[in-house]
Structure 1
Amino acid sequence: MVITSRVRSLLAVLAAGALTATVPGTAGASAPSPVTSQQYKVTGATTTLQRTQVAQTGAAIDILRADGVEISAIPSEVEAIKKLGFKVSAPLPKPVTPPTASAASYHTYAEMQAEVDQVAAAFPQITRKFVVGKSGQGRDIIGLKISDNVATDENEPEVMIIANIHARERLTAEQALDFIGQLTKGYGSDKRITDLVDNREITIMPMVNPDGQVYDMTSDTQAGRMWRKNREGPGTDLNRNFAYKWGCCNGSSSSTSSETYRGTGPESATETKVLANYVRSRRVGGKQQIKMFLDIHSVAELVLWPFGYTMNNTVPGSMDVDDENAHRTIGREMAQTQGFTPEQSSDLYITDGTTDDWTWGDQRIFSYTFELGGGSFYPPPSAIETQVQRSREALLRLTAYADCPYRAIGKEGQYCAA
């Protein structure tokens, strides 16, 4: 995407307005509040700039529609969106997952732990369960390493996949668990999978926001509470709390009531610190071992790559032409297999303090977000299999590219020669 002077001017106006005008829900520190968000439909927000305007109020954009977006917002954010000239509907009814005859169901936190334990017991030669760290409320954040010689830290390219950083995005944990099954059950019988497991170190963390996930699933309906954040204090949006361009660009909120509350500072949330510390721990001898990172979200059917804080495709010293070209080429290739739309994160709307921006901008790890489908945060359990199978091929391709992402643009000799 070429950023024209007209677009830059519009972005400058948006940024200036954010700095000079007090937009409810974003400017100034806010004390904890009992105000809770509800879902609304915003008509007319169909372009990147319009979605960015909506997001700059602090509202969380949940679902893209042909005529606008669905959001989660508190009353002050709704009023700010109306002042921008958009039509905002009355609160949408809380989603209810319809009954299903399928035996499938979403994993609770305890069921996720049990499944990972079962996999580790069934495939001890290629899997090792470990605790990455503790959540704010003391729950284990679980990781599963998959590799041949799994007890040894080999000099092999590493892949890190996380899911359920936003509590209500329930399908994401199912995708992570499905990939664990795909790799372990296929090892020894599927040559492609066997080669990947033999030549990669793959770490999968199915629920990195366990407190939020448990709270969201503790509900009196078959759906959930629509809870997004973690559970420390008013809750922090973990995907706005990372220490790269944190709070830089009006891509998150300083209001504790907001769904996009960025926290009191970079890595102020316990879970963010745990994840960041794990990534930093994989820098061995000054060299980052993780070569490919994926953060699984839902529900917009997208493949995204950095950066989210700026609409520029390239950034001197942070994202050069080859970096961007390789990210984009791999992103498009994966999205084609899924039927998703590939784009730079900021093409959706401006965000700051996100996982992908930090893992690439701070750690130089090729980084992606999958936004799964399903139509809502709580699609019926009978839809799980249909949805997760859409990304199986993409996950294999992402894992394969960990040896040298620049191979996608034919420059492995320049960047990855031994």
Structure 2
Amino acid sequence: MLAGLAAPVGAQPLDEPLDERGLFEVRDTDVAQRTTIADSGVDVWGVHDGTMTFAAEPEQVQKLRAAGLDLVRIGDLDRMLADHNPGVRAAADEFPPGDEAYHTYTELTEVLRQTVSDHGDIAKLTSIGKSYEGRDLHLITISGNVEVDEDEPEVLFTCNQHAREHLTTEMCLRIIQRFTDEYGQDPTVTELVDTREIHVIPTVNPDGAEYDIEGGRYRGWRKNRQGNGTDLNRNWGYQWGCCGGSSGSPSSDTYRGPEPFSAPETAAVAEFVDSRVVSGTQQITAHIDFHSYSELVLWPFGYTYSDTTERMTPEQAKRFQDVGARLAASNGYTPQQSSDLYITDGSINDWMWAEHGILSFTFEMYPTGGGLGGFYPPGDRIEPETKRNDEAVEILLTEAGAA
């Protein structure tokens, strides 16, 4: 965590010029105010107890203040990044000193290959495509008879759409290691592996994740590396760019891209999900997309405040609410519809449900807050914060059989 973030300084005077990107809070917000903030194209970092934390350019700050919002300035983002980086390591693709417990792309690849070597009877490693810079988008499938496409409910876990959210990759790794290492020993794990097909994509955004740690220093980077970068979780095809929940400006951290699925990473994941329609039936019945931070369980829709639409009946909305509440009760997160946070469009959950009827959730992981430090929890938090979701993963895998 960054020192001083728990007690930020007061708001700058409105007439004080701003010439740098800063970190800000707006406190005691309602959903309309949060949507106004997000719609300005700022980089939203988290929301907790009505306080919204975000990075903003000077022109965005002036726009929001002109709209009557009381912005509290936490600090200069570049200076905070410099303070958070204790030193530069020799290798270009290593995490900063003290965070070696996190996995680089190379280390992740080695772990996945070793997992399949150790558990080839239940685990298979493939690639669903290439990132913009040519890295494989790894997919590991775990099942009791993994070489046969059996008629079993399938569940998908995706991580690291946003580059700096490295804890989520560790979350996907825990799922992989738990459902392979504990197979044949833990009765619950064994039954779920034998009766499900579990698909895990540990990093949807490997290029951005590697760029975020380039030179052993954190950059606070969110997007992929295509041009100025695309926010992958605004690039999905359903209600893309419809409702003020993303930006059309390439410089924005919520840039949705020039068209739906313009990012090769989202296109590859979507193509894989499309490929699981067998004889007219989608085999994937449930999904979690892991993000950080704020400790939330979110479900569709993000593009509208309405609980029900032509793609969401009252009964379906009730199921999302019930399952979401059970998931949150297991890990201590807060459950809510995505749009209760603020409006987003072109998101993975909305597309998964609207296009395929997949029971799709987003988990915003640890911590509840913390500014820049919230994206970079120390390595000793990996085990407790990923283990914290063991029961939730089991709940979703079980619920997949009822979908």
Q: TM-score range by the shorter chain?
A: 0.7 to 0.9
Q: Any conservation in 2 of the 1:59–1:72 contact (CA below 8 Å)?
A: yes
| SS of residue in 2 equivalent to 1:71 | strand
1:87 is paired with a residue of what secondary structure?
Answer: coil
Letter in 2 for 1:123: H
Counterpart CA distance in 2 for 1:91 and 1:48 is: 26
Deviations 1:109-133, CA, capped at 9 Å, x for gaps: 1111000011110001100000110
2:153 equivalent in structure 1? 157
Query: Is the deviation greater in 90-99 or in 68-77?
Result: 90-99
Q: What corresponds to 1:62 in structure 2?
A: 45
Aligned with residue 269 of structure 2, among 271, 275, 281: 275
Distance in 2, matches of 1:81 and 1:198, equals 53
- Closer, same or farther: CA 230–45 of 1 in aligned 2, 3 Å: farther
Q: 2:337 aligns with which of 331, 339, 344?
A: 344
Which of 193, 204, 224 aligns to 1:197? It is 193
Contact kept in structure 1, 2:244 and 2:344, CA below 8 Å: yes
Structure 2 counterpart of 1:368: 361
Give the corresponding residue for 2:15. none
Contact 1:246 1:352 in 2 (8 A): yes
Cα distance 1:185–1:357, how it changes in 2: closer, same or farther (>3 A)?
A: same
**What are the within-5 Å matches in structure 2 for residues 42-191 of structure 1?**
42-44=25-27, 46-66=29-49, 68-88=51-71, 89=73, 90-92=75-77, 93-94=80-81, 96=84, 105-191=101-187
Per the TM alignment, residue 47 of structure 1 is displaced from its structure 2 partner at its CA by 1.6
Structure 2 residue aligned with 1:41, among 2, 18, 24? 24
Counterpart of 2:398 (choices 378, 397, 400) is: 400
Output the CA distance in 2 between the equivalents of 1:386 and 1:195. 24
Instruction: Report the CA distance between 1:274 and its aligned residue.
Output: 0.6
Using the alignment, how far apart are the partners of 2:21 and 2:389 within structure 1?
30
Indicate the percent of aligned positions where both proteins have the same amino acid. Answer: 43
Give the direction of change, closer, same or farther, for the CA distance of 1:97–1:394 in structure 2 (3 Å limit).
farther
Name which of 239, 243, 259 aligns with 1:245.
Answer: 239
The verdict on how the C-alpha distance between 1:404 and 1:97 changes in structure 2, with shifts beyond 3 A counting, is farther
CA distance in 1, matches of 2:63, 2:136: 39
Q: Cα deviations across residues 153-195 of structure 1 (Å, max 9, x unaligned)?
A: 1110100110000000110000000111111121111111111
Q: Does 1:313 align with 2:301?
A: no
| Matched letter for residue 232 of structure 2 | L
Distance 2:155 2:284 in 1: 6
> How well do the aligned residues superpose, as a CA RMSD in angstroms?
1.9
Whole-Å separation in 1 of the counterparts to 2:293 and 2:281: 34
CA contact (8 A) 2:289 2:363 kept: yes
Question: Does the CA contact (< 8 Å) of 2:305 and 2:339 recur in 1?
Answer: yes
Residue 79 (structure 1) shift: 1.9
- Residue 96 (structure 1) shift: 1.8
1:264 and 2:264 aligned = no
SS of match in other structure, 1:168: coil
Residue 138 of structure 2 aligns with an amino acid whose one-letter code is I
Is the 8 Å Cα contact of residues 28 and 49 (structure 2) preserved in structure 1? no
Query: Number of matched residues?
Result: 367
Partners of 1:72 and 1:259 within 8 A in 2: no
Q: Could you tell me whether the CA contact under 8 Å between 1:45 and 1:86 is conserved in 2?
A: no
Task: Give the SS at the match of 1:76.
Answer: helix
Quick check: 1:73–1:258 contact (8 Å CA) kept in 2?
no
Alignment partners' CA distance in 1, 2:290 and 2:99? 24
**2:211 aligned residue:** 215
Runs (5+) with no aligned partner, structure 2: 1-18, 88-95
CA distance in 2, matches of 1:135, 1:101: 27
| TM-score, with length taken from structure 2 | 0.87
Structure 1, unaligned runs of 5 or more: 1-35, 406-418
Q: 1:233 aligns with which of 222, 227, 240?
A: 227
